[in-house]
């Protein structure tokens, strides 16, 4: 079976398993796990941020960030198709107790400075005030689009001018960096805080990081505890995360395979394929997505439905050149010509 459902299905390699076995550990709630401390320091250094915090998942990372940045009852500005708004069980309402105001981005998920300005609300007797702007890069729902540094910067600059902090959901931050051929630090330079996942394209079994100013990370550490995310000998999972971080240098391979996959699928009847910017391929099908995926599964390829007639395939480090070839052939067998 060629599993193209997500870049989260990757399995840890021997190097990661050995790193987990050999990790020096301590109680991380006491900040005494040397492996977690090293991972946090390394992540902060890569992003050129003051500090970082290891968290169990990207969802928890975003939720901690939102809670730490905002006061109860404020508004949070986000893109209408963003993960934090659409795919986190309305956690913003439950954990940060904020009201979300969604902005329709363009077809790549870009929101303009004017939209940020228009979405901002002041704090007065009747209005709650805007407490946070969140951005997403790469933008998952729009097909893994890599938003340019300038697009992040211009939205963030307006927010800052209005006194609103900015959090970047960078679950696939390093995919964006690879696609744009810039450093991740360049992308996050204009924002206050960022979350990225070790467990997606980087291939770690578990974990995400949030990074930002030391003062923010100190407060986020308390919120992580509040949310039940304080872990003990977490070096066991931080160690493979450290190994996974090095995989950021190979993500262009996934992007090239995604391009080849898209080109091959686009030749097939009944499919319209969006040209991928990173490792996510979106295809429009002329039969319902679930039906299409059932037929693909029968031929040995897995994907996920993204909309009634939209399917997502994802390349990752357990998908090689031969798999891409075979996936195209399998889909060709699956779709009636
Ligand atoms: C996957 C994802 C998350 C959540 O990460 P989990 O580790 O699955 O909780 C957040 N944001 C985006 C854009 C994602 O793709």
The tens digit of pLDDT for each residue in 14-30 reads: 999 999 999 999 999 99
Q: How far is the CA of 107 from the centre of ligand 1 (A)?
A: 20
Q: How far is the CA of 172 from the centre of ligand 1 (A)?
A: 8
What is the distance between the alpha carbons of residues 282 and 307, in angstroms, rounded to a whole number?
Answer: 10
Question: How close are the terminal C-alpha atoms of the chain, in Å?
Answer: 23
pTM exceeds 0.95, yes or no: yes
Identify which of 57, 83, 105, 304 to mutate to test ligand 1's pocket (most ligand atoms within 8 A of the CB): 83
The tens digit of pLDDT for each residue in 39-71 reads: 999 999 999 999 999 999 999 999 999 999 999
pLDDT for the residue 16: 98
Ligand 1 neighbours (beta carbon < 6 A) = 57-59, 62, 83, 136, 140, 169, 171, 197, 199, 208
What is the full DSSP assignment across 203-236? --SS-EEEEE-HHHHHHHHHHHHHTT---SSTHH
- Is the pLDDT at 335 greater than 90? The verdict is no
Ligand 1 atom nearest to CA at 138: 13
Q: How far is the CA of 58 from the centre of ligand 1 (A)?
A: 5
Q: How far is the CA of 171 from the centre of ligand 1 (A)?
A: 5
Strand partners, 101: 77
What is the overall mean pLDDT for the chain?
97
What is the distance between the alpha carbons of residues 181 and 166, in angstroms, rounded to a whole number?
Answer: 23
What percentage of the chain exceeds 70 in pLDDT?
100
Q: How far is the CA of 46 from the centre of ligand 1 (A)?
A: 20
Q: How far is the CA of 1 from the centre of ligand 1 (A)?
A: 24
The tens digit of pLDDT for each residue in 90-140 reads: 999 999 999 999 999 999 999 999 999 999 999 999 999 999 999 999 999
167's tokens = 């959090």
Identify which of 9, 64, 87 to mutate to test ligand 1's pocket (most ligand atoms within 8 A of the CB): 87
State the average pLDDT over residues 270-294.
Answer: 96
- Is the pLDDT at 336 greater than 90? The verdict is no
What percentage of the chain exceeds 90 in pLDDT?
99
The tens digit of pLDDT for each residue in 235-258 reads: 999 999 999 999 999 999 999 999
- Is the pLDDT at 337 greater than 90? The verdict is no
The tens digit of pLDDT for each residue in 205-216 reads: 999 999 999 999
Neighbours of 160 (CB within 10 A): 15
What is the distance between the alpha carbons of residues 10 and 105, in angstroms, rounded to a whole number?
Answer: 30
């Amino acid at each position: 079976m060629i599993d193209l459902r997500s870049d989260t299905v990757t399995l840890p390699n021997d190097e990661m398993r050995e790193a987990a076995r050999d990790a020096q550990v301590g109680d991380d709630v006491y900040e005494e796990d040397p492996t977690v401390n090293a991972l946090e320091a390394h992540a902060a250094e890569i992003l050129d941020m003051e500090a970082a915090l290891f968290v169990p998942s990207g969802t928890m990372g975003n939720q901690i960030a939102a809670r730490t940045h905002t006061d109860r009852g404020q508004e949070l500005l986000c893109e209408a198709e963003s993960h934090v708004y659409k795919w986190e069980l309305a956690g913003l309402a439950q954990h940060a107790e904020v009201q979300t105001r969604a902005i329709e981005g363009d077809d790549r998920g870009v929101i303009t400075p004017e939209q940020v300005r228009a979405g901002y609300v002041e704090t007065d007797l009747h209005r709650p005030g805007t407490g946070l702007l969140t951005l997403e890069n790469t933008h998952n729902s729009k097909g893994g689009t890599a938003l340019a540094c300038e697009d992040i910067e211009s939205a963030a600059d307006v927010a800052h001018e209005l006194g609103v902090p900015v959090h970047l959901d960078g679950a696939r931050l390093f995919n964006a960096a690879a696609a744009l051929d810039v450093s991740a630090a360049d992308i996050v330079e204009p924002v206050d805080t960022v979350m990225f996942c070790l467990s997606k394209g980087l291939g770690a079994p578990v974990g995400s990081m949030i990074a930002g100013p030391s003062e923010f990370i100190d407060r986020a550490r308390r919120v992580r505890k509040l949310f039940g995310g304080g872990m003990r000998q977490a070096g066991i999972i931080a160690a493979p995360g450290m190994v996974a971080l090095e995989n950021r240098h190979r993500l262009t391979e996934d992007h090239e395979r995604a391009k080849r996959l898209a080109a091959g699928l686009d030749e097939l009847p009944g499919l319209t394929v969006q040209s991928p910017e990173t490792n996510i391929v979106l295809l429009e099908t002329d039969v319902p997505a679930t039906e299409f995926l059932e037929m693909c599964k029968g031929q040995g390829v897995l994907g996920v439905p993204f909309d009634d007639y939209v399917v997502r395939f994802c390349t990752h480090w357990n998908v090689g050149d031969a798999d891409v070839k075979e996936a195209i052939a399998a889909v060709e067998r699956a779709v009636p010509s």
